[in-house]
Amino acid sequence: MSSRFRYAAVTLIVVAVALGVWYGYPNDARAIRRQLDRLSADISAGAEETDFARLARAARIGRYFSEDVRIQVTGLSAITGRGALVALAAQARQADPGFRLDFVDVQVSVDPDHQHATVSLTARVTTTSPAAGQSDTDARELRFIFRKVEREWLVAQVTDVAAIERVS
């Protein structure tokens, strides 16, 4: 084995170990990002499910939110409390198998006390028109407030942010 090859192999191993440590090390911002990934995956995964599966998924979605969560988004009535949110999720039959929610451009800012965090992101919703079979995408900027409850980051508040301020 040539020395050049050995150097390259050692460098690769060092880089791989450094990346492993970097991504594996417990970090609040990464924990919040993971929580958001799981939330979007659970909300998206609803195609052709049974009533029982839908109820189970609604309960699972509730686990991402604090007991006193408040969701206030323009155009929708405000939701207060985890119970109300779970009830709403259980009622919402997802007739659209193409429904998908993605969180992009996620920016996490953890407070110095490590108990609260503010997340700015763009929520991208893709739906499919049953008649035309075409997909439609809508996006909205959201602001999440996370709170740490028993070592778990839970969503305590969701509000929307207007990139363009509407005039009437």
Partner 1 sequence: MRADGTEARIAVKRWVFGRNPRMTALRVVVLILGATAVFGWILLPVRAHGISMRPTYGDGTLLLVNCTAYRWTMPSRGDVVAIRMAGWRTVYVKRIVALPGERVAITNGILLVNDQPVSEPYVTYRSRWQTAPVSLAGDEYFVVGDNRGMAQTSHEFGKVKRDRIVGKVVF
**Residue ranges binding partner 1 (CB under 8 A):** 104-107, 120-122, 124, 136-137, 139-142, 161, 163-168
Q: Could you give the count of Cα atoms lying within 13 Å of 19 in the half-sphere of its Cβ?
A: 6
Q: Give the residue from 99, 126, 101, 107 showing the smallest Cα distance to 33.
A: 107
Minimum Å gap between C-beta 104 and partner 1 is 5
Say how many C-beta atoms besides its own lie within 10 A of residue 57's C-beta: 18
Minimum Å gap between C-beta 58 and partner 1 is 27
Minimum Å gap between C-beta 60 and partner 1 is 25
For partner 1, the closer CB: 47 or 104: 104
Backbone angles phi, psi at 150, to 5 degrees: 50, 55
Distances in Å between the Cα of 161 and the Cα atoms of 62, 101, 124, 141 are: 23, 18, 14, 5
Minimum Å gap between C-beta 93 and partner 1 is 25
**CA 112 to chain CA mean position, Å:** 22
**CA 122 to chain CA mean position, Å:** 10
Minimum Å gap between C-beta 124 and partner 1 is 6
For partner 1, the closer CB: 9 or 56: 9
Task: Evaluate whether 155 touches 69 at the Cβ level (below 8 Å).
Answer: yes
For partner 1, the closer CB: 49 or 160: 160
For partner 1, the closer CB: 21 or 163: 163
For partner 1, the closer CB: 120 or 128: 120
